[in-house]
A and B are shown apart, each in its own frame.
Chain A
């Protein structure tokens, strides 16, 4: 059977993101809309001084880098800039699959402070998928120049995730960002992000489908968020089944096998 480490879904992911070494370090994902200064944040965090142009789609080769804080090393993966995770484009698919299946320890979402509304749309979607989310409120100097003042406390209390204001090109806020990543990783900060509540017509259907999923494939509960999966199936996402096959089943064949026996056991009960 070809389920050696070469063919496993994890390896596909590792290969796609060029994560060949250093897998022992906690993996930090860097997500965000295009043109939010995400690449600059990446450079500032890792000390890589790559050139970053000002045009959408410049992060075509997923970059990875390392940074250390208080003796702990982290691996940082730069995801393609996207407006959403609904998998309408290859870039969105890559970003979604990484957050969903590579299970990063922390996901930093870089946000353009001058355009909070559009950026929060992505933040809400990421918080639906994973818990350890940190908001990097970038370009606050530009926002100030445009007369935009953001109530960080309020934003934090609404989203229930840490919000760190930064001016990445000047290096401002980068240490605070590292410190927060460190403390989330060590468990000192526990994040329970706000999960969006949809309109009743959506929520009712989700709950219904979620229950069915639990009944039918309940043994997978620890590996995928059923609420999220139900939403994807309901909105007619065609890519999720393909991604499940690509990363998930190949990745955990043994877990599914043991899970299956668990289902049988519960069936007996």
Chain B
């Protein structure tokens, strides 16, 4: 055994010594020559193999880039595209959402009828129908339509090649924050799923900037949180104005929340690069690939199967046990008060300070495995305590929330907290895996949660002051 080790180091010593025979200057010259020879040969072979070449390089692509990255229009177009996607999602999702809800709750009635006919015990009906089925029906009817519209649209932008342009436009901001321009690409992945965004940080070479990208990815709302943002914006912000404009207002509010997320990302990146992750920005090279004609059919099919169904499946899987848990909590009483009320009451004083209530905060805590189920848990909790309303559409949801004391301030606080609070369980595990340390996962948890509490507290107190 010993001999193997000594032989190993021998080889290194030998090779290392051989390499040290050449001075750094000599190596630099040789390196220059090697790369030059390679490119020259490639140039020669290419020139001889190309029979004809016309001197025009996809002029329409150039003209599009002139607009998309122009000094005055570059940033507004980015916001308009994002806003447009949200707007289409909001106006498009309403109708199918109501239809799905109607269908699924009709089925619930049939299930209840069946349980009554079968003489099933009440607790069984409670757990299976009111617990599991209703939560899942909520998840499907509320989340499926927005996702089925949002994902294909976003995938379309991705396919066209727009994302590198975003990174190109935003790089100087990231540079000033001490971060890497490619962080905007990892953020774009975060719109889909923060865990994917964390993995995508592998494209950043410098370990320091990679860590910044990993720790801040959570400030981009993922698709588990978009439905929450979109629904709350539709109910509480859009309804402030007359109907022709309310979807536009709602979309603007969602864009605003996303902007808050981006600004937070930049500020936190800057803070990290000045404290825990000190250093100078490393070099940045980013290819702007030619625009490619997107394959519309494939986009629709793939974004539906790979993203929509994936997210929905995850939500349903997590929602089922959460539904049971909430039902049990709501139907187990101590001193005639349900456990869920007890828990909510404990959390309430603190939750009020940051603009939420005990139930909402409890939902965020129970929603740790997957953010998708936060709204369903809130509704379940309210319903289990108050009147048994049958939520059939966003209008019904609005009634439930208003009955439980929600105002636009509650909605805003919930949206902000959703944007800034701790990453979901999957993302935390991914951070642990990618950084190879539990320490950084815990740090990410504390960092985001502290920021969420501080921001919520300040915003809510300021609003209440005026």
Residues of A whose CB lies within 8 Å of any CB of B are 1, 3, 34-35, 49-51, 53-57, 60-61, 86, 89-91, 114, 116-121, 123-125, 146-152, 154-155, 158-159, 169, 196, 198-199, 201-202, 205, 209, 212-213, 216-217, 220, 229, 231, 233-236, 241, 244-245, 249, 253, 256-257, 260
Contact = CB atoms under 8 A, between A and B. Distances in A.
A interface secondary structure, majority: helix
Contacts of B302: 49-51
Interface residues of B, number: 67
Interface in B413-459: none
B41 interface: yes
Interface stretch (B26-34, B240-248, B357-365): B26-34
A56 B165 CA distance: 11
B4 interface: yes
A1 B15 contact: no
B405 interface: no
Given A147-B54, A150-B49, A51 B161 contact: no
7 contacts: A51-B303, A55-B161, A55-B185, A117-B43, A119-B42, A205-B22, A256-B11
A199 B16 CA distance: 25
A241 B12 contact: yes
Given A55-B164, A56-B164, A121-B39, A1 B4 contact: yes
A241 B185 contact: no
A143 to B, nearest CB: 9
B463 interface: no
Contact of B27 (A57, A90, A236): A236
Given A202-B37, A217-B14, A241-B15, A55 B163 contact: yes
B35 A169 contact: no
A199 B295 CA distance: 46
Contacts of A257: 3-4, 7
A3 B19 CA distance: 28
Nearest to B40: A199
B34 A35 contact: no
Contacts of B396: none
A236 to B, nearest CB: 3
Contacts, number: 182
Contacts of A50: 302, 306
Given A56-B289, A116-B49, A146 B27 contact: no
B31 A151 contact: no
Interface stretch (B87-95, B195-203, B377-385): B195-203
A56 B186 CA distance: 11
Given A212-B18, A233-B22, 12 more contacts: A51-B306, A54-B163, A57-B185, A117-B47, A147-B56, A205-B30, A213-B18, A234-B30, A236-B19, A256-B11, A257-B3, A257-B4
Q: Which 3 A-B pairs have the closest CB atoms?
A: A236-B27, A147-B54, A57-B203
Contact of B45 (A91, A158, A205): A158
Nearest to B45: A158
B31 A150 contact: no
Nearest to B22: A234
B8 A249 contact: yes
A217 B11 contact: yes
Nearest to A201: B33
Given A51-B155, A55-B161, A146 B34 contact: no
Contact of B14 (A89, A114, A149, A216): A216
Nearest to A118: B42
Interface centre among A49, A60, A61, A201 (most CB of B within 10 A): A60
Contacts of A89: 205
Given A54-B161, A205-B30, A216 B18 contact: yes
A116 B290 CA distance: 15
Nearest to A125: B38
Contacts of B292: 54
B15 A155 contact: no
B56 to A, nearest CB: 7
Interface centre among A1, A51, A257 (most CB of B within 10 A): A51
Contacts of B307: 51
A55 B203 CA distance: 11
A154 B48 CA distance: 8
A12 to B, nearest CB: 14
B202 A90 contact: yes
A244 B14 CA distance: 13
